[in-house]
A = this chain, B = another copy of it.
Amino acid sequence: MSDVIKRFQPLFHPNSVAFIGASNKPGKWGSIILSNLINSGFKGPIYLVNPGETEIKGLKSYSGIAQVPGAPDLAVIVVPPPSVPRVIEECVAKGIRAGVVITAGFAEVGDEGELLQRKLVNRARAGGMILAGPNCNGIICPPASLHVAMPPVFPPAGQVAIVSQSGNVGTSIMRRVLKKGFGISCFVSSGNEADLHCEDYFRYLAEDPQTKVILSYIEGFRDGTRFLEIAKEATKKKPIIMLKAGSTSAGAKAAMSHTAALAGSDSAFDGVRRQSGIIRAKNIDDLTNIGVGFIRQPLPRGRSVGVLTAGGGWGVLAADACAEASLEVLTLPEETIAELDAFMPAWWTRSNPVDLVADLRPDNLWKALDCLLRCGEIHGIILLGVMFALRFRPLPSDNPQEIEKALQEILRGIGDAFQKLLSMADQHQKPVIVASEFPVDALNIESRVSGVAGKTGGACYLKPEDAALVMASLADYAEYLGLGDRENDSSLNPPKKLKPLSGSKQPIE
């Protein structure tokens, strides 16, 4: 076990938890978070501390930390601000090595809070105790069945880690990951980051075997130099996607009063994140879309894409979005057009995007996908409209049971289609990014499709621009890692020259 994993073990994989400030009063955070911890199915002992109670939610309550048997790994601290430094001291004396300080009212409220915050950090550091928070909404580690956080959301274990300076934005990100059908390896609301900074979590998560991608919401860095140094190493192991707030003066002002974060100059941030290979997202939707795109897809070795579409308009929107993201919508080589000509309907447009022109034969989608994957000049595919992989059959219109049966069949078909296209992506080592809608009159179908797709490790995006953005982010990361065109890999792709981007980013005038 590496040093960093060992250091974070008591925080994310504790054997036992002391809950300081446990409460019997419904509506109090000391009650809500405790309920979440109990409901999460945590396997180790939970020791409650509240001098005013003897029993809380059926568990024994101790009068003080000293009275708790043994030395728990983790302390969850939900007591009022002035008591926190004393509690930290008692935890250190007890041998507790990690703490989550939920309590707010520190650096974010001004000079006095800042002083109090310094006090608690000094005591923790002197005692070798690591701290998440204060002013945070907690941590969740599904692989450890650990949930000491405010949101009543119990994510399944997965490969997406979330580090957020805002608990509420972190929760928004987590919900979106779940809606896309993926699970969580670790959720951290890092709050004021008095002790542990976002870069500390990055260092840990880069080593954490459960984590494959790191999503982060940041309002400001506590130490830019240290951040750059650590992030640079972390991104060599795993992609970090970041939403940085406070890019305008209005936002920066709001960030300061929220988590005492100095948002800093946006161009300076952009320099740091470029140097450290961090991918920047514009909002929580993009952040999540990009993040889950890294879970299962091979990285593209260049920026030339084939777009295969079931609808003409989506193809046009994808072409625009590709050009805007500096992806080249490749002019197809003659031999690829000839191959497609062999089976496509006579009126297909012989160009990229390859429009399936409302031809309802599923075989054509697979044949066309195979053609494009085999084209040596193409580095990745954007597939718009996965429903064409299924045989079209209108839903029965009246009987709810029959409708549900038909929907189940569609969902099975979509699951199979994702399995198949992901294995084709593996075989050619080229990503196949899917955006699709579902022309059946069942408005909740999207979330069910996401669930089915997510189980395969694939993501189903909902508009063409999303697929283009994800493809571009994968290409950005591959470039950062120095993964160029596979000229030596002649078994799959013959050697070829990369075409220049031909100014496709410019709007036409």
A residues whose Cβ falls under 8 Å from a Cβ of B? 27, 32, 35, 39, 104-105, 109, 151-154, 164-172, 175, 178-179, 217, 219, 245-255, 257-259, 263, 265-267, 283-285, 310-317, 319-320, 322-324, 328-329, 347, 349, 351, 353, 355, 357-358, 360, 392, 394-395, 397, 437, 439-441, 443-444, 447, 463, 465, 503-509
In the assembled complex, the CB of A84 is this many whole angstroms from the nearest CB of chain B, namely 15
Contact of A316 among B151, B152, B254, B351 (CB under 8 A): B254
> Could you tell me if A508 and B169 are in contact, using CB atoms closer than 8 angstroms?
no
Residues on B with C-beta less than 8 A from A248 are 319-320, 323-324, 504-508
| Given contacts A250-B319, A349-B257, A508-B248, A311 and B168 within 8 Å (CB-CB) | yes
Identical subunits present: 2
Q: If A27-B392, A152-B441, A312-B259 touch, does A250 touch B504 (CB 8 Å cutoff)?
A: yes
Cβ contacts under 8 Å, A357 to chain B: 104
Please, how many angstroms separate the alpha-carbon atoms of A105 and B357 in the complex? Answer: 11
**Given A324-B248, A508-B252, is A169 in contact with B313 using a C-beta cutoff of 8 Å?**
yes
Q: Is A249 within 8 A of B323, CB to CB?
A: yes
Q: CB distance A443 to B447 under 8 Å?
A: yes
How long is the Cα–Cα vector from A314 to B283 in the complex, in angstroms? 11
* Cα separation A258 to B314 with both chains bound (whole Å): 10
Question: How far apart sit A405 and B167, CA to CA, in the bound complex (Å)?
Answer: 28
Q: Give Cα A92 to B425, complex, Å.
A: 54
A250 to B315, CA, bound (A): 10
A446 to chain B, nearest CB (A): 8
Q: List 12 A-B contacts (CB under 8 A).
A: A27-B360, A32-B394, A39-B397, A170-B313, A245-B313, A247-B320, A249-B323, A249-B504, A254-B329, A284-B463, A285-B463, A444-B444
